[in-house]
Amino acid sequence: MSSPDDFQFGEVLGEGSWSMVVKAVHARSGKVFAVKIVSKAFLKKEDMVSHAMAERDALLKLFRGRGGPPGFVRLYSTFQDLTSLYYVMSLAPNGDFKDLVKKCGSLSLDCARYYTAQILDAVQWMHAQGVIHRDLKPENILLDEYLRIKLADFGSAYVMDPGNLGLRKSTFVGTAAYISPEMLLHNTSGKSTDIWAIGSILYYLLLGRPPFLAPTEYLTFMKVKSLDFVFPESGFDADAKDVIYHILVLEPSDRLGVDPKSSPTALRKHPFFVGHNSGLPHSQAYFVDWSTLWTIDPIEIKSGLVPPPSPQPEEITQEFWDTFVHEFSLVAVDDGSGENSDSEA
């Protein structure tokens, strides 16, 4: 059984209220992992032990086979010491979608289409295995060494009861800007909850901000419950707008891609992903071939409607000011008297 002594811990990759993720090298094999370290004291104090178990159980469910599916961080092992729980997982070295969009401003239409298709494919496969994530958001979508997505942070996930695959009562989980109306209104969640998040994430990728955003969580919740979101007056792709409109629907069963009124296949066949069956040639736009989605070279990452932020001036440090003041004081000034402060009498 592993222990913290088996790893050399390094860079902190992310921090939350009850856990942190660090880059770690396995001492014996030299392999590099991401290790999530969870505080036992916090779990006990906040009555969140079930969250720790949920993440383990969900990832074990997804990786029952030896190879495992694409699109998910892999759990290799778990262990504990007196103060913490440890999850040894695959490393996704290229950051998360929040960092990517912050850097780019927004993503190009083709880039957003490619990555949303990968998210959708992974989520639908996950649902077929009986797992609901419930906290999909840009920070929980990582990029691996090949710039393909990896869904992460299953602390709010649950494994569905085979006898009840619909909405179920649950504790309140999620993140304000991406939380579904059914969670806010009824404390229920299901497959439709993750589909809602995909619509919100697509909006975020294309515009650099979530569809429901307000100064406080309460006001954000009010926007979600009233479907208070808008698109730009011009420049926004019509098919992207249509698919988002058909996902961000108050009634869970009315969302595109949600059984029984719709189906996962119906969402995959939306023109935003596969184009229009008109027989007419398209421009150089990228459309999804679901059979090669995980094997083709990733789409080049480009900015979209919202450009990258302007470079910020470098922070002026105290060392700079100390040097500046010292050098400034060495400048001699000729006051016309024929004398110079640097000259000898």
Tell me how far apart the alpha carbons of residues 24 and 181 are, in angstroms, rounded to a whole number. 39
Tell me how far apart the alpha carbons of residues 185 and 200 are, in angstroms, rounded to a whole number. 18
Q: pTM for the full model? A: 0.85
State both tokens at 300.
């080049």
pLDDT for 267: 98
pLDDT for 54: 86
Scanning 21-70, the segments in alpha helix (DSSP H) are 40-45, 49-62
Q: Which amino acid is at 308?
A: P
At which residue do the structure tokens 């299953």 appear?
Answer: 154
Which residue(s) pair with 168 in the sheet? 189
Whether residue 151 contacts residue 133, with contact meaning beta carbons closer than 8 Å, is answered with yes
Tell me how far apart the alpha carbons of residues 175 and 190 are, in angstroms, rounded to a whole number. 16
Total count of residues recorded for the chain: 345
Per-residue burial over 59-97, b = 16 or more CB atoms within 10 Å of its CB, e = otherwise: bebbbeeeeeebbbbebbebeeeeebbbbbbbbbebebb
Catalytic residues: 135
pLDDT for 337: 53
**Omega within 30 of 0 (cis) for the link into 260:** yes
pLDDT for 147: 97
Tell me how far apart the alpha carbons of residues 50 and 270 are, in angstroms, rounded to a whole number. 37
State both tokens at 199.
């619509």
SS3 call for 112: helix
Question: Please, what is the Cα angle at 143 between 139 and 145, to 5 degrees?
Answer: 155
Whether residue 292 contacts residue 121, with contact meaning beta carbons closer than 8 Å, is answered with no
Cβ-based burial of 267 (10 A; exposed 0-12, middle 13-18, buried ≥19): buried
Listed in sequence order, the residues at least 6 apart from 172 whose beta carbon sits closer than 8 Å to its beta carbon are: 183, 187
pLDDT for 46: 82
In terms of DSSP bridges, do strands 168-169 and 188-189 run parallel, antiparallel, or are they unpaired?
A: antiparallel
Q: pLDDT below 50 — which residues of the chain?
A: 280-283, 341-345
Listed in sequence order, the residues at least 6 apart from 244 whose beta carbon sits closer than 8 Å to its beta carbon are: 199, 202, 203, 211
Whether residue 197 contacts residue 137, with contact meaning beta carbons closer than 8 Å, is answered with yes
Ordered by where they begin, the domains of the chain are: 4-25+32-90 (3.30.200.20), 95-274 (1.10.510.10)
- C-alpha 212: how far from chain center: 16
Per-residue burial over 150-168, b = 16 or more CB atoms within 10 Å of its CB, e = otherwise: bbbbbbbbbebeeeeeebe
pLDDT for 314: 65
Residue 311: how many other CB atoms lie within 10 Å: 6
Q: What is residue 72's DSSP assignment?
A: B
Annotated binding site for ATP: 36
